[in-house]
């Protein structure tokens, strides 16, 4: 049995592991290459750059597959299950456990056509279930660039829903465009989640 599930579902989303056995790296490249629609807005506040060549996308899929097999992390492709863009690649969600500290770091990004649909909160709820019910972790953390207002609003919404808290500003925590940047970090404990889960 794999530590992480290979597939999951929530109300409107399907989660497929990012793994070379199942995922076509060229589909990823289509949406994250330099010049792809909306890519500059997507990558403005994240720690990775648009891919310059399909091999970069292939290498990333390979890396994610290795992490999955090793139990180090899981990255999932997100696809809506309904609506005008059903089955289209909407974005990605990741969970990166630190087993010694019994916590996980969440990461996610969505393509611009999927912004403002509530997918971030839906994804967070499903990933919290994975972290606490299946992986038996105690704390989940998530962070954003202080200038990223869209992420702040989305994160604060589900942090409040599940009874979590804002931890504060972590100085020089992330690197964007080769420059250190602060991050704003939040956390949800297992006890907070259990009190507030639906």
Segment (H or E) for 156: helix 149-161
Task: Name the superfamily (CATH) of residues 7-195.
Answer: Gcn5-related N-acetyltransferase (GNAT) (3.40.630.30)
25-54: pLDDT as tens digits: 999 999 999 888 999 998 999 999 999 999
Residue-level pLDDT at 3:
93
Interior angle at CA 158, CA 155 and CA 163, nearest 5: 120
Provide the strand spans (E) within 53-196: 74-80, 91-98, 103-110, 139-144, 165-176, 179-189
Q: What ranges do the domains of the chain cover?
A: 7-195
Kindly report the pTM of this predicted structure. Answer: 0.95
Residue-level pLDDT at 198:
73
87-101: pLDDT as tens digits: 999 999 999 999 999
134-169: pLDDT as tens digits: 999 999 999 999 999 999 999 999 999 999 999 999
């Amino acid at each position: 049995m794999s530590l992480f599930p290979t597939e999951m579902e929530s109300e409107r989303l399907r989660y497929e592991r990012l793994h070379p056995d199942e995922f076509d790296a060229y589909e990823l490249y289509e949406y994250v290459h330099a010049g792809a629609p909306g890519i500059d807005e997507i990558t403005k506040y994240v720690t990775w750059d648009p891919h310059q060549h399909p091999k970069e996308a292939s290498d990333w899929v390979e890396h994610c597959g290795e992490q999955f097999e090793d139990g180090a992390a899981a990255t999932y492709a997100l696809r809506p299950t309904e609506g005008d863009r059903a089955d289209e690649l909407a974005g990605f969600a990741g969970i990166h456990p630190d087993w010694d500290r019994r916590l996980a770091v969440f990461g996610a990004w969505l393509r611009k056509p999927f912004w403002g649909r509530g997918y971030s909160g839906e994804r967070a709820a499903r990933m919290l279930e994975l972290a606490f019910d299946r992986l038996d972790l105690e704390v989940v953390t998530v962070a954003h660039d202080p200038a990223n207002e869209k992420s702040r609003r989305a994160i604060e919404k589900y942090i409040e829903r599940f009874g979590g808290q804002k931890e504060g500003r972590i100085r020089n925590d992330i690197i964007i465009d080769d420059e250190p940047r602060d991050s704003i970090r939040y956390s949800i404990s297992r006890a907070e989640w259990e009190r507030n889960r639906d």
